[in-house]
A and B are shown apart, each in its own frame.
Chain A
Amino acid sequence: MKLTKATYRKPDDHGDTSFDIEASVENKKEDIVDMSVASLTIIDGNDNTVACDYEREDSSYAEKDETFSVYLSCYAKDYLISDFNKAKAIVDLATYKKEYKKIGEFDIPKDHKSTIQSNNQIEFGKIRLFGVSVYRYDPPENPSDDHSVCVKLAVKNISNEYIQKALIKIQLNDRSGANLMDSEDYRPLPPNATVYFEPSVYAKSGKLKGAKLDVSISSFHLIEHYNAESLIKLSKD
């Protein structure tokens, strides 16, 4: 990884100095990069923390020997740095590959007192998916308002690997197959932990008749760590 840009701007009217960093990364692994997570730390000449932007996810994509770039930024009050010539930008970045599985297509429960359930448990790579329960939230006071349909799904990491992100996506399609709405929820999965998801979608009651709910999971697994740092320069912009 190389920092191909590391600049700061003169403070704005509020005394805020912004830092703009661009990093280029070459994927040397066989796995395809589908996501990167980076943090940017700005320190002064005495290694004091000035600013930090962390957990910056980017939908980076790179096959083997391909290069991708990420853009990071953060800001701080200018009085935190006595000498900008000695300030440094440090970037820590990790790349992740994606695994995907469709969990199933579910009918919509007829009312808020019934449920549709998958009645099965699936193991998918390093993940165990407990059965899916689809239910409807209590109807709105005004029946012509949107009605919510929710999914309950618990996901267990059955490995010792820290899984950066498990993403549950639900797509609501009407009886003709047209997409009405989608929703997603994602969280990290620590080793051996079980994490709970409850994404929901909503539509008018009539649209829910004959509609289907597609549920899928994507999980993101570590490929490689990268680190780089650079002195920062005043932006020419």
Chain B
Amino acid sequence: MKLGDYFKKYNIRFLKSTPSQLKTNIDEIDLEKIFEKRFEDLKQLLNREDKDIYKFYIPDLGSIPSDLKISAINKFIIQGKNNRTVESLLNSSLKIIEDADYNDLDWYKRDIQKILIDISEKDVQVVKKFLIKLKNFNQDVYNDTIKMIKKLKEHNNFLKHFIE
């Protein structure tokens, strides 16, 4: 694959150290030889040819880590997009209470309440799986979460699915 096609496919942009953003002629560079290298190596390669590149980024996602392998960009994009799915939010919430102190439990409750109040039909199975995981992890926190669901069910009908 050519570098220009790769950038277009994944909507990768770059910032230059100097302001001019005129088309930089890097489209024809053959990616095959550097596909297993990292973005830092790509930057160095381009800058050896005077391309003046400061950083790579993807709009609405953020900057690309310099240690990321060029071949791993798809995984990076998927991870970035998944950050806001209910499954990912629930998993992050669960991680807050691993090795938790008292304050973290309060934080977990605030966080989980915000997530649960917004769930829709497509999230029901994800939440069911999460509750099973939570029950196995910490029975007390599970009981608190179910109590919260009972209180919140008037605001979101889908929460009725989780009350036995």
Chain A residues packing against B (C-beta within 8 Å): 2, 4-5, 18, 22, 24, 26, 35, 53, 55-59, 61, 65-69, 71-75, 137, 146, 148, 150, 183-187, 196-200, 202
Query: Secondary structure of the A side of the interface?
Result: strand
Please name the residue on chain A nearest to B104 by beta carbon: A2
Please name the residue on chain B nearest to A61 by beta carbon: B84
Of the candidates A4, A57, A187, the one whose C-beta lies within 8 Å of that of B63 is: A57
Q: Does B74 contact A (CB under 8 A)?
A: no
B96 adjacent to A2 (CB under 8 Å): yes
B65 adjacent to A148 (CB under 8 Å): no
Q: How far is the CB of A9 from chain B (nearest CB, A)?
A: 12
21 A-B pairs whose Cβ atoms sit less than 8 Å apart in the complex: A2-B96, A4-B92, A22-B95, A53-B66, A57-B57, A58-B63, A59-B61, A65-B114, A66-B111, A68-B83, A69-B92, A71-B79, A72-B65, A75-B67, A150-B21, A183-B21, A184-B13, A185-B15, A199-B21, A200-B22, A200-B23
User: Do A148 and B93 form a contact, CB below 8 Å, given A73-B65, A186-B15?
Assistant: no
B22 adjacent to A148 (CB under 8 Å): yes
Chain B residues packing against A (C-beta within 8 Å): 13, 15, 19-23, 55, 57, 59-63, 65-68, 79-80, 83-84, 88-89, 92-93, 95-96, 98, 104, 107, 110-111, 114
Q: How far is the CB of A56 from chain B (nearest CB, A)?
A: 6
Please name the residue on chain B nearest to A51 by beta carbon: B67
Known: A53-B67, A202-B23. 10 other contacts (CB 8 A): A2-B104, A22-B92, A24-B95, A56-B65, A67-B89, A69-B92, A73-B65, A150-B22, A184-B13, A198-B19
B111 adjacent to A26 (CB under 8 Å): yes
Please name the residue on chain B nearest to A69 by beta carbon: B92
**Pairs A-B, 4 closest by C-beta atoms:** A4-B95, A58-B62, A57-B63, A198-B19
| Residues of A with C-beta under 8 A to B62 | 35, 56-59
| Residues of A with C-beta under 8 A to B57 | 57
A26 adjacent to B60 (CB under 8 Å): no
Please name the residue on chain B nearest to A58 by beta carbon: B62
Alpha-carbon distance A197/B110, docked complex (angstroms): 42
Q: How far is the CB of B81 from chain A (nearest CB, A)?
A: 11
User: Do A146 and B23 form a contact, CB below 8 Å, given A4-B96, A55-B63, A186-B15?
Assistant: yes
Q: How far is the CB of A66 from chain B (nearest CB, A)?
A: 6
